[in-house]
Amino acid sequence: MENKLSQARAILQVFVLSALLVAGGCTTPHAEQTSFKLGDTTVHAKVFQHGKPSPMMINVHDDENTSVVAGKVVVRESGGRLIELVHNGGRLVEFKLDGQTYRFDPNRIFSDEGIRATLSRRSTYSEAAHRVVKDFATKFIEQHALDREPVIVALHNTDGHGLTINSYRAEGNMSSASSVLHVSPKRSPGDFFYVTDRRFFDYFKARDFNVTLQDDANVSDDGSASVYFARKGIPYLNIEADVSHLDEQTEMVRVAREMIAELGLMAR
Ligand SMILES: [Zn+2]
């Protein structure tokens, strides 16, 4: 009897859920995912979309979840697409191949030089592992047609210890990557934009955000997405914010979206 009752309740719940989904219609954000096999590991690319699929946002570091929450708030508010790489919850992707464990930073895989360096630094290098990582990077870009986007927005978080806007000052360890810099006294150093387009730099500087412009001539090709898209001629920006600054990062994503619309960089 109790079983029947709970069965009936379950059916009713499914019915109500379906009805809600139908009622939600096209206002419900749309989620799907693609998967990539690397040795014994599967990396998922979760796609979160609402309204038009532009702007295109990507999150490649699985432990930078505040940035994903901020991105989804703005996608729900005004549309867009967010692709999030999901694997073990950490920054590095780990996979086993022929009994050997390999690790790499998924934001260092968009050139051969970068793949060699990140495998060597994070674990060990082999040609077989190189092929696996390169194949993943190529398919990730192809399956989501990232090379055909008018602009790419990458979502990242800082943790208060490593990278800040001050890393790009003349005395900082990232100074060679940066050609111009604007540091705002009213913003937290961990909250900043890293951009490859002079128009973006001017826009954020005018609103007194921390911002640095990539020096395309002098930046070393470390396999990061910013270098890859700059070489493809696709405008690109990183939105970096402290992992505890959800409100600040949401505001940064909102401003970036407004800028992209104002500059006519929305995909049709
Ligand atoms: Zn990151």
Q: Note the pLDDT tens digit of each residue in 45-81.
A: 999 999 999 999 999 999 999 999 999 999 999 999 9
pLDDT tier at 24, thresholds 50, 70, 90 = very low
Query: What are 67's two structure tokens?
Result: 């940035």
Which protein residues have their CB within 5 A of the ion that is ligand 1?
61, 64, 156
Q: Against a cut of 0.85, is the pTM above it?
A: yes
39 C-alpha to ligand 1 centroid (Å):
23
In this predicted structure, the answer to whether residue 1 has a pLDDT above a threshold of 70 is: no
User: Closest Cα to residue 156, out of 235, 94, 237?
Assistant: 237
Contact yes or no for 74/254 (Cβ under 8 A): yes
pLDDT value for 27 = 58
pLDDT value for 67 = 98
157 C-alpha to ligand 1 centroid (Å):
6
The CB-side HSE value for 185 (13 A sphere, CA atoms) comes to 0
16 C-alpha to ligand 1 centroid (Å):
39
Cis peptide bond prior to 55, omega within 30° of 0: yes
pLDDT tier at 21, thresholds 50, 70, 90 = very low
155 C-alpha to ligand 1 centroid (Å):
7
In this predicted structure, the answer to whether residue 130 has a pLDDT above a threshold of 50 is: yes
Query: E strands of the chain, at which residues?
Result: 30-38, 41-50, 56-59, 80-86, 93-97, 100-104, 152-158, 178-182, 192-195, 211-214, 236-242
pLDDT value for 30 = 80
Q: For the chain, give me the number of helices (H) and strands (E)?
A: 7, 11
245 C-alpha to ligand 1 centroid (Å):
15
148 C-alpha to ligand 1 centroid (Å):
23
